């Protein structure tokens, strides 16, 4: 049991990855684990698009880079800073051995006539997607690989869909980088237990 807790706490977001590819078997095991995450109504509203070829990775990275540039310029950021940030984004995503674009589909979810419940249903799908992502990251960890959850696609969903020729049905939620770790970061601090866990109506122990 102790091993499980050590395993969970030793998972890190690994941003520096080696160039070495991941074998198809390993990748399949990792992504297959994602399918076993809990999901609302067991609808499994996730779709995982895997990018390993240079062309695809660069195509996506550049499309996201262009969208990022537009946002930064609209914010009035200094041109040199914009160039640096955009280049870092393009390099990061182009150089990862494997990119997994996690998309949400409302296809298998329930639909409601009113906006309020429909928004709740969308939220259920988002939460299910997050559970799948965490499962994938833990599976990568058990395989001894590194990976990181990037939110960039959420900021430019249309650019991502266009770059990869995806239909509007697939709503980009996150981009995961996977590969052999090239860094061993220290654990970022967690908020104290007492601050985030409340035993309501019980005395402090
Ligand atoms: C929804 C979500 C979005 C994230 N987006 C990014 C991101 O865009 N860039 C990044 O470097 N890390 C991103 N992360 C990783 C977090 O920064 C990381 O999980 C956090 O700092 C804790 O570090 P740890 O995962 O090593 O424990 C994201 C994590 C989550 C859950």
Ligand 1 contacts CB of residue 16 (under 6 A):
no
Mean pLDDT of 151-163: 98
Residue 203's pLDDT band, with cuts at 50, 70 and 90, is: confident
Mean pLDDT of 189-199: 97
Would the pLDDT of 205 be above 90? no
> Tokens 């985030």 correspond to what residue?
196
Can you give the pLDDT at residue 92?
97
> How many whole angstroms from 150 Cα to the centroid of ligand 1?
7
pLDDT digits (tens, 9 = 90+) for 49-92: 999 999 999 999 999 999 999 999 999 999 999 999 999 999 99
Atom of ligand 1 nearest to the CA of 15: 11
Ligand 1 contacts CB of residue 150 (under 6 A):
yes
> How many whole angstroms from 34 Cα to the centroid of ligand 1?
18
Cα 95 versus chain centre, distance: 16
Can you give the pLDDT at residue 34?
98
Would the pLDDT of 204 be above 80? no
> How many whole angstroms from 128 Cα to the centroid of ligand 1?
17
Looking at ligand 1, which residue's alpha carbon is closest to its atom 12? 150
Q: List Cβ neighbours of 34 (8 Å cut-off, separation of 6 or more).
A: 46, 48, 132, 133, 135, 136, 139
Q: Regarding predicted confidence, which is higher, 204 or 162? A: 162
Can you give the pLDDT at residue 95?
97
Indicate the CATH number for domain 2-181. Answer: 3.40.109.10
Looking at ligand 1, which residue's alpha carbon is closest to its atom 17? 13
Can you give the pLDDT at residue 138?
98
Question: How far apart (Å, rounded) are the C-alpha atoms in residues 155 and 68?
Answer: 8
pLDDT digits (tens, 9 = 90+) for 22-35: 999 999 999 999 99
Query: What ranges do the domains of the chain cover?
Result: 2-181
- Most informative mutation of 93, 150, 175, 177 for ligand 1 (most atoms within 8 A of CB): 150
Q: Which residues of 21-57 are buried (b: 16+ CB within 10 A; e: fewer)?
A: ebeeebbeebbebbeebebbeebbbbbbbbbbeeebb
pLDDT digits (tens, 9 = 90+) for 93-147: 999 999 999 999 999 999 999 999 999 999 999 999 999 999 999 999 999 999 9
Can you give the pLDDT at residue 3?
96
> How many whole angstroms from 148 Cα to the centroid of ligand 1?
7
């Amino acid at each position: 049991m102790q091993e499980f807790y050590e395993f969970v706490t030793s998972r890190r977001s690994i941003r520096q990855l080696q160039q070495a590819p991941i074998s198809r078997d390993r990748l399949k095991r990792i992504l297959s684990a994602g399918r076993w995450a809990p999901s609302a109504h067991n609808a499994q509203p996730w779709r995982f698009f895997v990018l390993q070829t240079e062309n695809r990775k660069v195509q996506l990275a550049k499309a996201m880079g262009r969208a990022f540039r537009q946002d930064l310029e609209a914010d009035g950021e200094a041109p040199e800073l914009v160039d640096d940030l955009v280049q870092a984004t393009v390099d990061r995503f182009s150089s990862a051995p494997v990119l997994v674009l996690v998309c949400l589909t409302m296809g298998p979810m329930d639909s409601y006539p009113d906006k309020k419940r429909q928004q709740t249903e969308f939220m259920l799908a988002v939460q299910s997607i997050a559970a799948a992502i965490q499962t994938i990251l833990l599976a990568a960890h058990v395989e001894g690989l590194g990976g990181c959850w990037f939110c960039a696609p959420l900021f430019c969903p249309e650019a991502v869909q266009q770059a990869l020729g995806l239909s509007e049905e697939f709503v980009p939620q996150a981009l995961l980088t996977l590969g052999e770790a090239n860094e061993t970061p220290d654990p970022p601090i967690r908020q104290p237990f007492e601050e985030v866990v409340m035993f309501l109506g019980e005395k402090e122990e």
